[in-house]
Amino acid sequence: MNTDDEVMRFFERNFPDAIPLMPTLLEDFHHNPTSALVTVRCTPWEVAGRTLLLGDAAHAIVPFFGQGMNAGFEDCTILDEMADHYGEDWNRILPEFSSSRAADANAIADLALNNFIEMRDLVADPDFLLRKQITAHLHEKYPDQFIPMYTMVSFSHVPYSRALAEGKAQDVLFDRILAIDDIADSWEDNPSVDAIFHAWRKEFPN
C-alpha cells in the first residue's frame, strides 16, 4: 500500500470499526513502518568459557506467547543458580548452560509460533472453544494430573520443553475426547471423558 487511497480502502474493507478511533491513521501508517518479526535459533551460546549469549541475542522469538522477556529473565536465574552450584567455575558453567538451555529456547520459539496460528485461526472455532471448556474442567477435577499447557508456560517454572511436550500429548487427548458422539452436549458428566483421560494419562505419564 503506497498511497492514502490504498491505505483507506484496506482499512475500510478489513477494519472499518477502527477508523473512527484512529484520527491520525494515515500519518501513523506512513511514519511508523512495520518491522520484521524474527526467530533466532543458534548454538552454541558460549565460546571457550569466556563469552555467553543471553536473552534475545541467543533466542529472540515472535511475541505471540508473551514470553520473550520472561525467557531472558529465566536465563539469568538459571545461570545464577548454576554459578552458586558450581562455585563460579565458568569453564564448566557456560558450556553446560549453553547445551542445556537451548532446548527450552527452541521450545518457546515453537510455542510462540504455534500460538500465532491459534490466535489467527482458532479463537472462533467451536471445537477450539469446547476444548478450552473441557481443559478448565479437567484441570479443576484433576489439578495434580492435568495442567493446561498455557498455565505451565505462563504461571509456573515448568521448563518450556516439557510444556511443549505436554501440549503435544494434550493434543492427542483432545483428539480422542472430541471424537465422542455429541460431546458438545454431554462433556461435563460424560464417563467416557474420564475413561479416556485416565487411559491417556497412563499412556503419557506427567
CA dist list (Å): 34 to 28, 31, 37, 189: 11, 10, 9, 49
Domains of the chain by residue range: 46-120, 124-203
**pTM of the predicted model as reported, rounded to 2 decimal places:** 0.82
**pLDDT single digits (tens) 149-170:** 999 999 999 999 999 999 999 9
pLDDT at 13: 95
Average pLDDT, the chain: 93
Burial class (CB in 10 A: 0-12, 13-18, 19+), 104: buried
User: What is the average pLDDT across 99-106?
Assistant: 94
pLDDT score recorded for residue 75: 96
Say whether pLDDT at 191 is over 90.
yes
47-100 pLDDT per residue, tens: 888 899 999 999 999 999 999 999 999 999 999 999 999 998 999 999 999 999
Average pLDDT over residues 96-111: 95
Give CA–CA dist 81/65, Å, rounded: 25
Residue 122 confidence (pLDDT):
82
Please state the φ and ψ torsions of residue 55, each to the nearest 5 degrees. 60, -145
